[in-house]
Structure 1
């Protein structure tokens, strides 16, 4: 590709437990970046209530498209019969009925995975069928185009926070030659480069559930072998530049 693709990476909106001024201002900040693709890696809602999903849908529709969004642990009902019988109904109705959405824009193929099964309340799981899909879809992307994978739970997390199926997923990322893996969940921004892949965890874009950092989102410029991540952080005067992390040449 002749120029880097521009990806806006938002995560952990937690609408229902959000800062109103963050929601009110983030659309203009993302739009000003003129992204080719917007990716939202889960926890769009706080408790998967209908009103929260309505707010999430309205926000996604205001962001510059196309948009790819995946489920987080807060996007399933915490308790009640819905958790057992219809855990994804509201997500399917309001956000996206495809559990493995694909977006293709100029020079980029992006695949989303749902890493939140109904029987886990916080940590995630990736199945063999999902990792097969990573290899099938992203492994077939033409040389020179960017391969992007999005899910809620960070694949590099270890210990009690580790994904079930973590090693299988990392094998698929390697086999498919994925350039960029986007995740959220921790509310703490992080960038790690590993064997030619950039693993980017976005902070919380609009939530009051802060963990030592303020609200932020990640603006990513990417082409094969070149990745630059620019954090956008929310201050008293609005969104401003934050940390820059880059890797050029693999």
Structure 2
């Protein structure tokens, strides 16, 4: 089987974006010829209709198949809209399914909406979502099992998600190989041990197009899986040119 190539893009923040990064991102992603493009939330800055239109236009330029999940900035700030129709604009412009599932040869990928209307910034995973993770990924045919959500699932302290323990148990039970997240605007990756001797590789992407950088350039992350190895390479933007950084490699469990 040929290598799996995953393009991991996050935190576009259309409405607070860098126009040059927006113009050049899609071509750089397409040049990698990804098996799957994953976008882990915050497509917009303030969930406004014009921002969703801009986000949809950019996403349409990214390679397919695509898996996209919402982030905290994709839910309206106004209390009535947040309470009564938190995902209406997102569903209309980006994806009707908040917990999408994509199957492609050698890969099963599940996205979870980690931004409930009752949380302001930090995330949560419900028991129903954890059960769906086990049902979909645990029963997947042989191949790589991938979970995507906006909030880094293993964060601790004030940044921790509600339901972390149930999510960790579900990841171990389903033998998930790779977890993709965003939210922090700082790219990183690590291998996280779970129950029963299983371990998962967590990849957090930086912001691809936002002006809200946090001490590191805008970037997206290229993931290549081949011969029992997961290779993670952030690609940084410098004046519209995207350049790879040093790759990090992990064993595929």
- Judge same fold: TM > 0.5, yes or no: yes
- Corresponding residue number in structure 2 for 1:180: 178
Alignment of 1:60-75 (within 5 A): 60-75=59-74
Q: Which residue does 1:85 correspond to in 2? A: 84
> Does the CA-based 8 Å contact 1:125-1:163 persist in structure 2?
yes
Cα pair distance change 1:77/1:106, threshold 3 Å: same
Separation (CA, whole Å) in 2 of partners of 1:123 and 1:224:
36
CA distance in 1, matches of 2:91, 2:226: 32
Matching of residues 16-31 of structure 1 within 5 Å: 16-31=15-30
Instruction: Report the Cα distance in structure 2 between the residues aligned to 1:131 and 1:43, rounded to whole angstroms.
Output: 22
Partner of 1:190: 188
- Structure 1 position 97, deviation (Å): 1.2
What's 1:123 paired with?
122
Deviation at 1:224, TM superposition (A): 8.2
Shift of 1:142: 1.5
Q: Secondary structure at the match of 1:53?
A: helix
Superposition deviation, residue 3 in structure 1: 2.7
CA distance, structure 2, for counterparts of residue 249 and residue 174 of structure 1: 14
Q: For residues 11 and 233 of structure 2, what CA distance do their matches in structure 1 show?
A: 18
What is the alpha-carbon root mean square deviation over aligned residues?
A: 1.2
Q: 1:225 deviation in Å? A: 4.2
- TM-superposed CA distance for 1:236, in Å, is 2.7
Deviations 1:215-247 (A, max 9, x none): 000000125842100110001361011131111
Matched ranges for 1:82-161 at <5 A: 82-143=81-142, 145-161=143-159
Contact 2:106 2:144 in 1 (8 A): yes
Q: How many residues align?
A: 248
TM-score, scaled to structure 1:
0.96
The TM-score, its normalising length taken from structure 2, stands at: 0.95
Output the CA distance in 2 between the equivalents of 1:179 and 1:74. Answer: 27
Q: Tell me if structure 2 keeps the 8 A contact 1:146–1:223.
A: no
Three-state SS of the structure 2 residue aligned to 1:155 is coil
How much has 1:80 moved relative to structure 2? Answer: 3.9
Q: Which residue of 2 aligns with 1:8?
A: 7
Gap runs ≥5 in structure 2: 194-198
Pick the aligned partner of 2:162 from 157, 161, 164: 164
**Partner of residue 40, structure 1:** 39
Specify the alignment match of 1:215 in structure 2: 218
Distance 1:224 1:139, change over 3 A: farther
Contact 2:138 2:173 in 1 (8 A): yes
Contact 1:99 1:114 in 2 (8 A): yes
Q: Which residue of 1 aligns with 2:230?
A: 227
- Give CA deviations for 1:174-224 in whole Å, capped at 9, x if unaligned: 110001100000000110112331100000000011111110000001258
Q: Which runs of 5+ in 1 are unaligned?
A: none
Q: Which residue of 1 aligns with 2:54?
A: 55
Moved more, 175-184 or 233-242: 233-242
User: Residues 127-169 of structure 1, C-alpha deviation per residue, up to 9 Å, x if partnerless?
Assistant: 00000000000001112x1101000000110000000001110
Hey, what's the Cα distance between the residues in 1 that align with 2:240 and 2:85?
42
